[in-house]
């Protein structure tokens, strides 16, 4: 924890404590705060996460949030842009999730027509681009969805493309190489180009129970020896009974906000879990 009983956090070696923040952490020190990375160079903009979260350094995680136990595979492959990802999600390599879009009905689809300095600062360092591109600070008239949403217990297969603004429902599975341009229903399995629903993971009656229970809200560790997770109906029976009896405790993981700063990391504890 960063702060206890009103005290400032104790800074690890090489870091500086400023109020309730720690500045200048090395990538290997992030594990002490529940974020497992290789080098962490993939983090661009703020990353909000619940501990623990695992990110094996995909190409880019930009302005996104990750729920507890979510992991991202694929070293230096795959990108997440402005994604809100729930708990217990599995994201494979070479994915492209929520990438920014371009206008298709303007004179040009090139960024010179619609971008702003704050979005592409490196472009504006080139004098030729700056001369051509918008120079005002007013909002761009080209609007695109702010976020792409992934529910809890979602599995995204290798090479998947998900269009910006799409919502992937709880428990859904997106097959490898699928191109998702529309919302995906909870517990649906989708595949293809464009992605279409193949079937539900379970009968509708089971899906209804899963969505009502929302098992990802609970701490399942104390119950792992009492259940066989491969048997869905028996698992639901046990968890539903224990939830009704008050024996399932709400999972309340610590949550953090981390930003990369010249190869080091600044981190602060958030006041509550993300979910």
Annotated active-site positions, please? Answer: 102
Show the CA angle centred on residue 206, arms to residues 204 and 210, nearest 5°: 115
- Residue 206, H or E segment: helix 204-213
Torsion angles phi and psi, residue 28, rounded to 5: -70, -20
Q: Which two tokens stand for residue 61?
A: 């995680």
The DSSP symbol for 225 reads G
Give the number of other Cβ atoms within 10 Å of residue 159's Cβ.
Answer: 18
Q: Tell me how far apart the alpha carbons of residues 242 and 218 are, in angstroms, rounded to a whole number.
A: 11
For the chain, state the CA radius of gyration: 21
What's the burial of 190, exposed, middle or buried (CB within 10 Å: 0-12/13-18/19+)? Answer: buried
Q: Tell me how far apart the alpha carbons of residues 134 and 262 are, in angstroms, rounded to a whole number.
A: 28
Q: Which two tokens stand for residue 96?
A: 């492209």
Q: Tell me how far apart the alpha carbons of residues 69 and 265 are, in angstroms, rounded to a whole number.
A: 21
Q: Tell me how far apart the alpha carbons of residues 52 and 34 are, in angstroms, rounded to a whole number.
A: 4
The DSSP symbol for 11 reads P
Q: Where are the beta strands (DSSP E) in 60-128?
A: 60-66, 71-72, 79-81, 83-85, 90-91, 96-97
Beta carbons of 154 and 87 less than 8 angstroms apart: no
CA nearest neighbour of 182 among 200, 172, 196, 171: 196
């Amino acid at each position: 924890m960063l702060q206890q009983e009103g005290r400032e956090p104790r800074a690890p070696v090489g870091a500086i404590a400023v109020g309730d923040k720690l500045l200048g952490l090395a990538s290997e020190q992030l594990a002490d705060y529940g974020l497992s990375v290789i080098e962490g160079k993939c983090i661009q903009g703020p990353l909000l996460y619940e501990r623990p979260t695992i990110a094996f350094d995909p190409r880019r995680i930009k302005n996104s949030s990750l729920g507890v136990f979510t992991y991202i595979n694929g070293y230096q492959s795959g990108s997440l842009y402005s994604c809100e990802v729930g708990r217990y999600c599995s994201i494979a390599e070479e994915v492209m999730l929520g990438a920014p879009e371009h206008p298709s009905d303007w004179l040009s689809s090139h960024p010179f027509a619609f971008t702003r300095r704050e979005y592409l600062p490196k472009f504006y360092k080139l004098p030729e681009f700056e001369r051509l591109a918008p120079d005002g600070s007013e909002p761009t008239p080209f609007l695109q969805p702010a976020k792409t949403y992934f529910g809890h217990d979602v599995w995204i297969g290798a090479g998947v493309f998900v269009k910006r603004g799409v919502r992937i429902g709880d428990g859904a599975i997106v097959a490898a190489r699928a191109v998702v341009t529309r919302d995906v229903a909870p517990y649906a399995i989708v595949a293809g180009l464009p992605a279409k629903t193949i079937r539900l993971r379970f009968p509708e009656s089971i899906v209804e129970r899963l969505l009502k229970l929302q098992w990802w809200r609970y701490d399942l560790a104390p119950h792992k020896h009492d259940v066989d997770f491969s048997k869905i109906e028996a698992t639901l029976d046990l968890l539903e009974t224990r939830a009704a009896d008050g024996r399932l405790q709400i999972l309340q993981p610590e949550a953090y906000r981390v930003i990369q700063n010249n190869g080091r990391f600044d981190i602060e504890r958030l006041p509550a879990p993300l979910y």
